[in-house]
Amino acid sequence: MKRKAVISLLLILVSASSFSQEKKQPVAPLDSVVRELYPQRVRNIFKTTPLAMISGTVPFLSEFRLINEFVTSKKQASQMSFSYLGKGPVLFYIEELLKSQGDNINLVGSGFGFQAWHKFYLGKYSPKGLYLAPQVSYAIGRVSEKRLNQYDLYLQWTHASINMLMGAQILIADKAAIDFYWGLGYKQNSLIYHESATNFTYLDDELPGIYTFPVKFNAGVHFGWAF
């Protein structure tokens, strides 16, 4: 009996020692795991496109676009943008031209836009260097005269597209970002004259063929700040 008791005690001590050794094995700190998954120094970039503030996606309207690109893996990043469309230099110029001809007119414009990208970088790490990116884009904008707008009379443009883009993003000192892109896609553009919720007219047939042509040519540049 004593012999069995001694053997049982030794087994318990060996098991406890093994468990203690397993428990004391070092665990990699969380920050080192994150650094292995995301080795980039830059993981977020906020950007905009100054040229669109003159004339944006929708004709006659300026576009004020805020863009955020964020790293999702070593070689990938997603990019989202939201835009406010409003009265800008082009619409002001048309308004002043009509006023100079004796028209008492006050043009107004408004709208919004949205874009989503997912970038596949071809270099060592995202978010710099050459990339390929599928993109979806949607924008809607309205133009009217202030008094007519009160009666729900306006012109409305709607632009939707799916695109495949190629681009190159340059980071200067890991801070200033310049993002060039170009590519092709499929688009659906439309223009309506809105008189009421149940009374509107499509004006697509009166527009130039290039406006309704389904192939979209893309090119542009974004400027931003990385952190």
How far apart are the C-alpha atoms of 207 and 90, rounded to whole Å?
A: 19
pLDDT per residue as tens digits for the range 13-48: 455 555 445 444 555 565 555 556 667 788 999 999
How far apart are the C-alpha atoms of 53 and 109, rounded to whole Å?
A: 13
**86: its two tokens:** 């409003």
Whole-Å CA distances, 49 to 53, 56, 81, 113: 7, 9, 11, 13
Give Cα 221 to chain centroid, integer Å.
Answer: 13
Give Cα 61 to chain centroid, integer Å.
Answer: 19
pLDDT per residue as tens digits for the range 140-198: 999 999 999 888 999 999 999 999 999 999 999 999 999 999 999 999 999 999 988 77
93-108: average pLDDT: 90
How far apart are the C-alpha atoms of 154 and 143, rounded to whole Å?
A: 6
The number of beta carbons lying within 10 Å of the beta carbon of residue 64 is 16
Q: Specify the residue for token string 């993002």.
A: 179
Amino acid at 45: I
Sign of CA dihedral 30, 32, 33, 34: positive
pLDDT per residue as tens digits for the range 198-219: 788 888 888 888 888 999 999 9
Amino acid at 3: R
pLDDT per residue as tens digits for the range 89-98: 999 999 999 8
pLDDT of residue 22: 47
First to last CA, the chain: 71
Give the predicted TM-score (pTM) of the model. 0.79
pLDDT of residue 46: 98
Query: Which residue blocks in 75-152 are alpha helix, DSSP H?
Result: 89-100, 146-149
95-122: average pLDDT: 93
pLDDT of residue 121: 97
pLDDT of residue 2: 52
Task: Enumerate the β-bridge partners of residue 186.
Answer: 162, 215
Q: What is the DSSP letter of 55?
A: S
pLDDT over 50 (residue 54)? yes
Q: Specify the residue for token string 């428990």.
A: 23
Cβ–Cβ under 8 Å, residues 216 and 187: yes
Structural domains in the chain, sorted by start: 42-226 (2.40.160)
pLDDT of residue 204: 82
Least confident interval from 31-40, 77-86, 92-101, 106-115: 31-40
Least confident interval from 70-84, 91-105, 120-134: 91-105
What's the half-sphere exposure (Cβ side, CA atoms, 13 Å) at 76? 7
Find the radius of gyration of the CA atoms of the chain.
Answer: 29
Share of the chain above pLDDT 70, in %: 83
Which comes out higher in pLDDT, residue 212 or 109? 109
Which comes out higher in pLDDT, residue 77 or 204? 77
How far apart are the C-alpha atoms of 38 and 93, rounded to whole Å?
A: 48
pLDDT over 80 (residue 56)? yes
